[in-house]
A and B are shown apart, each in its own frame.
Chain A
């Protein structure tokens, strides 16, 4: 039985800085997951991923990541994706201090 589709966001690493970015509904790459397009339809997810991956001169390695809707927009569901929204835990580096 095919698994039920769970909501997604599209994420990648910015080409020059390498930091985590999320694909917005208006085709921007945002450093905040809360601004990501929240995708609930599988066919739409596949299409948007193709569009995201085509933006080769802006990002590297776009993929679909599980997400849930929070009070301020999409949030990560897995701890790996949560880390990407924040930065490492051993130093105050990355998004936790830059955003």
Chain B
């Protein structure tokens, strides 16, 4: 894992000290809220409905056990004993007090963490595939490049006041688990015809009010040109992006309004200018960074007890079949820990659970943890021989729910329960759907299904790319939920299509139940997933299930 050098350490400490002074001046009245707001946002501090909210970056989703324990400590000492993991691989604390925040930031700095650029019109936390360095389908670990991008983008003087926020995601594998096509820049590792590794550069993806699938700006970029090329993109956007209307300010609109070709021309021209300035130091730095991400010292030992336990213990088998993914090293497995027990708030972990996960990572997981954009926690390197021990410990901490990728593995943003921008709640809808399908005991039969819920048009809950997306709106002072179908956040990214009129808070869960049980009747066989069935059949049969004729008659 990357270790801060003296520069990083001094930089983060200095920023904490600056913020401490700013908070003092705000409290004694010498700064107004208007003056203070941009300063607090630069440090990840929001003001929400019931309290402040501190958003802490988990760069490319990677944590070590010491950091996870410190997140637990911060939750206990200054918050309400839990944290919320988000789709952008951050953790949010929902209840900090303004005068405690500098101490919280100091505690983060103690474990090489910070909340910088988790807000504002800057380049945000660089996200990556949560299976990075572990998955069987990987070309290369994307995290060294993500770290390089982070160092380049942090406090980059040219990019502190962009037209709007800017999000970069990096994937090193064939399968896209980083939603690269819904980011301002998506970096995908690919091979060219000559077999050399390089990057496919995608721009202009984004969700929110005007969802767009990212477009390929450069099909193959040699590895050593990445920083200069990204700098060219952001630099072109910085000048061309619209500052007159914040709803048109994201690069997706810039690309859409100017066209991909113009964008390509401008970026290539700018790239020609800039690349001369990159004399190779970035590549030296990358080499050093790569050293910090060397694969763990895998052990070879027997996996016999795994097979035996799988046969003997149906609960363990169900968990292993659902929550484990293929690892590149022989005898190893990737464990996804669901922090979405049925009825719980998606993405929330208590301080106790954080400590249990940290201990397990230390004991069985080569001291690595990941946060996934699907709001779960990953132990990327666990030997199969240790899976039973891991499972047993997880169970004691209420962390062994076997639902990864299933109907109750729902992404939900904080919604109106916390968020000042929300138009409706999302958490209770997620809780009710999960609880309902648990009662029905059919989620394993249903198979892979991604439900994603946002509490407003900003789409923090990724609803546009959910197989079933739910968007909470305010219709004349009443919560109303709109359903989209057929969204997909992988390498075949698709924006979901609206199914029809929205549902009330009371009707949305029955509507989802109808939809999903209806799909079971429509599918060709048990292997055809919801998304595949939707793609084969189109909207009509699903619409008929959602809006039965008699209801229409009643409504008319």
Q: A and B: real partners?
A: yes
The chain A residue with its CB closest to the CB of B423 is A80
- B478 near A88 with CB under 8 A, answer no
Report the minimum CB–CB distance from B507 to chain A (whole Å). 16
Query: What chain A residues lie within 8 Å of B97 (beta carbons)?
Result: 16-18
Docked Cα-Cα span, A83 to B48, in Å, equals 12
**How many residues of chain B get a CB closer than 8 Å to chain A's CBs?**
32
**Stretch in B24-32, B328-336, B400-408 touching the partner:** B24-32
Docked Cα-Cα span, A60 to B94, in Å, equals 17
Docked Cα-Cα span, A57 to B36, in Å, equals 12
Query: What chain B residues lie within 8 Å of A16 (beta carbons)?
Result: 27, 97-99
Docked Cα-Cα span, A19 to B48, in Å, equals 9
Given known A-B contacts A56-B29, A60-B33, A88 and B417 have beta carbons under 8 A apart? yes
Query: What chain B residues lie within 8 Å of A84 (beta carbons)?
Result: 49-50
- A19 near B416 with CB under 8 A, answer no
The chain B residue with its CB closest to the CB of A86 is B50
Within 8 A of B (CB), among A17-33: 17-20
Docked Cα-Cα span, A17 to B33, in Å, equals 14
Given known A-B contacts A15-B98, A79-B477, A90 and B49 have beta carbons under 8 A apart? no
- A79 near B51 with CB under 8 A, answer no
B395-424 vs A, Cβ < 8 Å mask (1 yes, 0 no): 000000000000000000000111000100
Docked Cα-Cα span, A17 to B50, in Å, equals 9
Report the minimum CB–CB distance from A16 to chain B (whole Å). 5
Docked Cα-Cα span, A18 to B93, in Å, equals 13
Docked Cα-Cα span, A36 to B160, in Å, equals 41
Docked Cα-Cα span, A20 to B33, in Å, equals 16
- A57 near B345 with CB under 8 A, answer no
Task: Let me know if A7 is at the binding interface, CB within 8 A.
Answer: no
Docked Cα-Cα span, A19 to B95, in Å, equals 9
Task: Let me know if A73 is at the binding interface, CB within 8 A.
Answer: no
Q: Which of B48, B98, B345 has the most CB of A within 10 A?
A: B98
- A94 near B50 with CB under 8 A, answer yes
Within 8 A of B (CB), among A77-99: 77-80, 83-84, 87-91, 93-95
Per CB-CB distance, the 4 closest pairs between chain A and chain B, nearest first, are A57-B29, A88-B417, A18-B52, A18-B51
Q: A57-B29, A83-B50 are in contact. List 8 more A-B contacts (CB 8 A).
A: A15-B27, A16-B97, A18-B47, A19-B50, A77-B477, A79-B477, A87-B50, A89-B417
Q: Which residues of B contact A (CB under 8 A)?
A: 26-29, 32-33, 47-52, 80, 94-99, 345, 416-418, 422, 425, 427-428, 431, 474, 477-479
